[in-house]
Each structure stands twice: as C-alpha cells, then as structure tokens.
Amino acid sequence: MADKEPQIVSYTEDNIRSLDWKEHIRLRPGMYIGKLGNGNSHDDGIYILLKEVIDNSIDEYVMGHGKKIDVGIKDSKVTIRDYGRGIPLGKVIDCVSKINTGGKYDSKAFKKSVGLNGVGTKAVNALSTDFVVESYREGQVKRAHFDKGELKKDEKIKATEERNGTMTSFYPDEEIFKHYQFKSDHVIRLIMNYCYLNTGLSIWYNSARYHSEKGLFDLLEDKMSGEPIYPIIHLIGEDIEVAFTHTNSYGEEYYSFVNGQHTTQGGTHQGAFREAVAKTIKDFFNKNYEPSDIRSSIVAAVSIKVVEPVFESQTKTKLGSTEIEPGGKSIRAFIGDFLKENLDNFLHKNPTVADALDKKIRQSERERKDMAGIRKLARDRAKKANLHNKKLRDCRSHLSDTKNNERASETTVFITEGDSASGSITKCRDVNTQAVFSLKGKPLNSYGLTKKVVYENEEFNLIQAALDIEDGLDNLRYNRVVIATDADVDGMHIRLLLMTFFIQFFPDLVKANHLYILQTPLFRVRNKKDTIYCYSEQEKQDAIAQLGAKHEITRFKGLGEISPDEFKHFIGDDMRLEPVILDKETQIDTMLEFYMGKNTPDRQNYIIENLKVEKDTLTATPVAEEING
C-alpha cells in the first residue's frame, strides 16, 4: 500500500494573526494561572484569581498602608476591599486592562513585591464576568466595569466618603471554570498564610477575622498534627524568618515562602534551608551526622524577602532566583550565614532543646542503619518487578522533569484495583501526563506497623518506588496521586487502607496536597438523544426530571464496568477529584486508631449512627462503608 501524500497546508499572511491581551489570556489561561480545575484542589485557577487580587492588597500593607483586608465570597461572587492608598484614579483602567502596566516596576515603591510582571489582575479581569474595580483616594472614587476583559462602563470620577483603598469584585467565568465552587477550607488556608507572614494584618473573610501574632511559629503550631519533640525554634532576622521542630512522623515537611508567596514546590530558598540547617546542626554537635538523619521528621517553615524574585512559572510556586538581589549575595549564602549565627547561638543558650535534638538525630541514625539491608533488597526487588510485572503504566512527563516543567505539573498517577479497571483507565488516559498503577488484591492494613513494612510488603514497596518518595518529595514523579477504587464496600475499604499507608508513612505527601480520591459516576441516565452521568442520588433524580419519562438508568457497580470510551470523560478536563486534607484539627494517631485499630464499641456505635435506610435497602454513608469494610 503506497504512503499517503502529505497534506499541503497553505501558509500565507492570512495565517498570521495578533491576539490582544484578553484574547491571549482566554485562549491560553494555563500560561497565566496554571490549571483550571473546579475548586476541589487548592491550586485550581479560581484560587489563583483570588490570590492575584489579594496579593496587590498585601503589597499595600507591606508598604505600610492599611492593616485590614475584607474578603467576601457569596454565590460565586468574589469581593476584595483593602484600605491602602488606592490606585491612582487616572490609571485605574490601565492597571487592570493593559499588560505590563503597574506600580511594581518602580523598585522604590514596591521593593520586594509578590507580583512584578503587571499581569496578575489583568488575568483576573480577562477570565471573569462582571469584573468591577473601584479606587478611593482622598475623597474621590473611580469605578470601571468589565466583562471578560472588555470595558463595558467607564464611570466618571466623583466624590465619596469612603476610606482610601481599592475594591475589586468579579465572577470567575463559567465558560472557563466549569462547575466550579469555592471551598472555604482552601480559601481559609490561603488567607491564613497571608496572616502568618504579615503579623499585625487582619483579614476578614465572610465576617470572620483571621490574624497571627507569632508568624511562622503560629503556622507550625497550626500545621503540626502531632506533638513536637522539643519547643519550636523560631528565628527572625532582616528579610528572613524560620521556624522548625521535629516530631515522630516520617518524612520531611516544609512550608516555604518568598515575599509572602507560598512556594508549594519549594525552590532555591527551600533547598538552601535544608542544606544550611543540616550543616549548622552538624557543626554544632561536631559529629559526622548524615544530613538525612538530621532532617528526618523535621517540620519547618522558611520565609525570605527577595528583590525582583524570579519564579519558574506565572503561578509562582517554585523560586528560581539564586540571589537575594541582582548582583548581591546568593540565597544559599544568605540563609547559611543566618542559621550559622542565629541557630548556633540558640542551641548554645538552650541546652535542653539541643539535647532533645541530638537524641532524635541519633534515633534516626539507628533506624536508618537497621533498615539499610532491607532497603537495598527492596530496591532490587522493585526494579525487577517493574521490569517484569507491568504494574506501572507510566506517562511521558514527570513532575521532577525540569525540562518539561509546564506539562510535568499536570502529571497524575491513578492507583486502581484489578486488571479490568486499570485496563479501562490505561486505554483512555492521556499518555503524556497520566500513569496507572494496578493493585493486586487488598493492601495490608499498615496501622501500628513500622516503616519496615513499606520495604517488606511488595505492593507498598512498588508504590513507593513508582512514586520515588523513599527519601522525601524532592523526586516525586507525579503531582497528583489519585486513589481510584470502586464505589462499593470493598472499594471503600481499599481506599481507606491506601489512605492509612500514605498518612502513616508519607504524611508530607498528604500535607503537600498531592493525594486525591477519584470521583466516578454512580449512575448513567440516558435517552435516545442525551446522556447524563450522575455522581449522587440527587443528581440522578435531577437527570430523570430533565430527560423525561423515556429513559434508561444504569448503576455502575465497579470501574471495570465503565468502558474506555466513557471513562475518558471522567479523567479528562471534567475530572472530579476530592483532595485528602489533613488540617490542624486532625490528630493522625487518634484518627488512624479509631478507623484502623482494633474494633471498639465507639467505632461500632459510629457505624450504626451513620447507617441509613433508603428505599428499603440498607446502605451506609461513605465513611461508614469504609470503616465497615
């Protein structure tokens, strides 16, 4: 059979077009706000829109103007009001609709600002409907109305009795952010990070006040799910603040910030802190400790100020700068010198803390040496298993692949049960960014076991190797680790067993918002023209009402029953993911003991109280099903 002739495509002046600022943002939103999402994940686009506007208000506070910010979200409408200086009235429209326009190019006005490229608020404007900006300055107000970046109403300047400041309101565009919903947990987490980094600032969210008096000290107290081994070490200097302690949890846990921006993917400053804290402690004790033993079980926060920071993406999740300011001291030397002086002094003045720290390091050293042989055997076994068992159907991009960082941040691995379910996902996945790991049977209940089980149990060892998280999250290969199990009792039980494994042995993975549950439809309701997938009984009833009398209902009992053609809808742009969140109220040991420990009257009573009868069929709520499984 002869090869087909290549298709000839014309390439003339007519093929060349220029997009204006709003068209480009709307066509390529990912370049400006990262992934879109529906609000389930903390880094979904609607929270980036919120953050971009609040960032401007924070910059005003940092410059000494306004100690209060009001944030309101109601019926998808976002309103943010600060009490800073207000945008100069003659530049209000330009500041929200002209790229590369803003006050942050003048380093004297905004020396260490969060946003420097003049894009943030413009992206919010372009990706929103009914975008309104008002600036109050010295008894006057300027108001402008936009829709998807298009100026709809330019009001004249008039008198006002409002205090100085800026108010911005908008609705994220439903054409771009499909089926979105703001989750208060994510909004509050964002707001509290601002408060930790700006002591003295009050942010009111839907009439509730949020603030912090001790900065990163408060952050660690709120974030730690267990008791610290020694009191939190809190050190503050010019343009730097650090806080850390050790717990009995596994892994390393970091919260890093640059100019008030939460760098969830770390960067040069986080790497410099990890190196400097290990070196300073090693030098203090004058012992040849391994850095990994010093950092094992650490919980730490570091915040620095950088002049004109360089981030690796518009969403500013990873710092790329190597210098504190252009031509100045390196970030590595800046953090190293600070800890060498201040941490060393602290440990000399607090011998009880130093003793507790030394004891913890020696404990980690013993555990590492005891595990050395087991780890080597496990790694060898994992390599052989990956070659022969095909448990992991990998993707082409990886989170740790810096050369392909934009796509790497979209990577997902689905952990699923059985060949049929994994086969369906494998056939319809995006091979560039989506991988599939297939479980063999139910995982072991790992509650109460030591980390030795991670290496001795084949399934757990292969999962660890597939994710490459044995030595922390630095080499994590996927941004989202998604548990994809059937929506029945067995599937719920497997889900809970996997959650126990990750929460107990890799809590940093969970706390860094990498663990999710895949929501798949329970029902398919269709007629000859339309098909509606329903994720709940209520959605099913709504679909029946919408399609009328002649319809067919299918109840999906397992993922293997969903064909690849259908499954591609559930793991594509409209994928529904429920994040696994550990908040400050979560006591990990207590929670795991209740759900996964020996059966107790308390748990039996909880199951009974959460059972419900529906249409003569005894069913259980998801939580009760998981426990009962």
Instruction: Look at residues 210, 245, 271 and tell me which one is the last residue of a structural domain.
Output: 210
Do 154 and 184 fall into the same domain?
A: yes
Q: What is the DSSP string of 484-526?
A: E--SSHHHHHHHHHHHHHHHHH-HHHHHTT-EEEEE--SEEEE
- How far apart, in whole angstroms, are the C-alpha atoms of residue 301 and residue 217? 9
- Please report the pLDDT score of residue 612 as a whole number: 47
State how far the Cα of 193 lies from the Cα of 262, in Å rounded to an integer: 7
Q: Whose structure tokens read 């033993």? A: 293
CA torsion sign for 155, 160, 162, 163 is positive
So what's the pLDDT on residue 361?
A: 96
Q: What is the pLDDT of residue 14?
A: 62
pLDDT, the chain, mean: 84
Give 264's contacts (C-beta < 8 A, 6+ positions apart): 43, 317, 318, 512, 513
Strand 392-393 and strand 298-304: the pairing is unpaired
What pLDDT is attached to residue 28? 84
User: How far, in whole angstroms, is CA 361 from its chain's centroid?
Assistant: 30
Asked if residue 312 has pLDDT above 80, the reply is no
* pLDDT > 90 in the chain, percent: 42
pLDDT in tens, 524-551: 899 988 999 888 889 899 999 998 888 8
Lowest mean pLDDT among 31-35, 266-270, 511-515, 558-562: 558-562
Closest to 127 in 3D by CA, of 194, 79, 173, 69: 173
Is the domain of 505 the same as that of 412? yes
pLDDT of 142 reads: 95
As a whole number, mean pLDDT of residues 420-443 equals 87
pLDDT at 73 over 60: yes
484 with 404, same domain? yes
Residue ending a domain, among 176, 210, 244, is: 210
pLDDT recorded at residue 512? 85
Q: Answer yes or no: are the C-beta atoms of 519 and 577 closer than 8 Å.
A: yes
Q: Is 10 within the bounds of a domain?
A: no
Rg (CA), the chain: 26
Same domain, 498 and 610: no
Answer yes or no: is pLDDT of 247 > 80. yes
pLDDT beyond 50 at 126: yes
pLDDT of 550: 85
Q: How would residue 313 be classed by pLDDT, with cut points 50, 70 and 90?
A: low
Q: Does residue 325 have a pLDDT over 90? A: no
Amino acid at residue number 307:
V
C-alpha triplet 592, 593, 595: angle, nearest 5°: 65
Mean pLDDT throughout 304-318? 80
How does DSSP classify residue 39?
Answer: S
Q: Is 70 exceeded by the pLDDT of residue 428? A: yes
More confident residue, 347 or 472: 347
Structure tokens at 176: 């771009």
Taking the C-alpha atoms of residue 389 and residue 419, their distance in angstroms, rounded to an integer, is 12
Per the rule left: phi > 0, alpha: psi between -120 and 50, beta: everything else, 166 is beta
Total domain count for the chain? 4
CA-nearest of 46, 28, 69, 41 to 129 is 46
Task: Determine the pLDDT at residue 439.
Answer: 87
298-304 and 253-258 strand pairing: parallel
Q: How confident is the model at residue 39 (pLDDT cuts 50, 70, 90)?
A: confident
What CATH code is carried by the domain that includes residue 281? 3.30.230.10
475, 468 contact by CB (below 8 A): yes
The model's pTM is: 0.78
Higher-pLDDT residue of 525, 400:
525
Q: Are residues 454 and 394 in the same domain?
A: yes
Q: Are residues 150 and 282 in the same domain?
A: no
Shared domain for 221 and 190, answered yes or no, is no
Q: Do the Cβ atoms of 66 and 194 come closer than 8 Å? A: no
620 pLDDT exceeds 70? no
Asked if residue 276 has pLDDT above 60, the reply is yes
φ/ψ region of 485 (left if φ > 0, alpha if ψ in -120 to 50, else beta) reads: beta
* pLDDT the model gives residue 261: 84
At residue 595 the predicted structure's pLDDT band, cuts being 50, 70 and 90, is low
Please state the rounded mean pLDDT for residues 180-197.
93
pLDDT for residue 6 is more than 60 = no
382 band by pLDDT with thresholds 50, 70 and 90? low
Residue 7 lies in a domain: no
pLDDT at residue 2 tops 60: no
Measure CA of the first residue to CA of the last residue in the chain; give whole Å.
Answer: 57
Q: What pLDDT is stored for residue 435 in this prediction?
A: 93
**Residue 132, pLDDT score:** 96
Please, which pLDDT band fits residue 392 given cuts at 50, 70 and 90? Answer: confident
Contact 259, 56 (CB under 8 A): no
* Stretch 291-313: mean pLDDT: 90
Specify whether the CB–CB gap between 131 and 145 falls below 8 A.
yes
Residues 6 or more apart in contact with residue 252 via CB below 8 angstroms = 274, 295, 296, 297, 298, 300, 472, 473, 508
* pLDDT tens per residue across span 554-571: 888 777 778 888 888 888
* Residue span of the structural domain in which 618 resides: 598-629
Does 201 share its domain with 227? no
Is the pLDDT score of 286 beyond 70? yes
| Rounded mean pLDDT, 425-441 | 89
Could you tell me if residue 90 is inside a domain?
yes
Whether 584 and 621 map to the same domain: the answer is no
CA distance readout (Å), 38 to 173, 179, 203, 399:
12, 6, 25, 22
Burial class (CB in 10 A: 0-12, 13-18, 19+), 535: middle
Tell me whether residue 528 is exposed, middle or buried, using C-beta atoms within 10 angstroms of its C-beta: 0 to 12, 13 to 18, 19 or more: exposed
Residues 191 and 262 in one domain: no
Same domain, yes or no: 307 and 448: no
pLDDT at 594 over 70: no
CA dihedral of residues 617, 622, 626, 629 (deg, nearest 10): 10
Residue 144: which pLDDT band, with cuts at 50, 70 and 90? very high
Instruction: Flag whether 509 is in a domain.
Output: yes
How confident is the model at residue 617, as a pLDDT?
Answer: 34
Q: Is residue 307 part of a domain?
A: yes
Rounded mean pLDDT, 333-357: 97
Domain presence at residue 15: no
Q: What pLDDT score does 406 carry? A: 55
Question: CB neighbours of 298 closer than 8 A, spacing ≥ 6?
Answer: 244, 245, 246, 252, 253, 277
Domain end, chosen from 368, 397, 426, is at: 368
At 282 the pLDDT is: 96
Q: What integer pLDDT is reported at residue 244 of this predicted model?
A: 97
Q: Within a 10 A sphere around the Cβ of 393, how many other Cβ atoms? A: 18
pLDDT of residue 228: 93
pLDDT, position 116? 45
C-alpha torsion sign, points 401, 433, 261, 108: positive
Structure tokens at 280: 């300073």
pLDDT band at residue 474 using 50, 70 and 90 as cut-offs: confident
C-alpha separations of 614 from 537, 558, 611, 629 in Å:
10, 21, 10, 20
260 lies in some domain: yes
Q: 529 in a domain, yes or no?
A: no
CB 145 within 8 A of CB 130: yes
Q: What percent of the chain has a predicted confidence (pLDDT) above 70?
A: 83
User: What per-residue confidence (pLDDT) applies to 139?
Assistant: 94
Any idea what the CATH number is for the domain that residue 158 is in? 3.30.565.10
Write the CB contacts of 597 (distance below 8 Å, at least 6 apart in sequence): 447, 448
pLDDT class for 621, splitting at 50, 70, 90?
very low
Is 299 a residue whose pLDDT tops 90? Answer: yes
Instruction: Please tell me the least confidently modeled range out of 130-139, 238-247, 275-284, 385-394.
Output: 385-394
Do 59 and 198 reside in the same domain of the chain? yes
Report whether pLDDT(499) > 80: yes
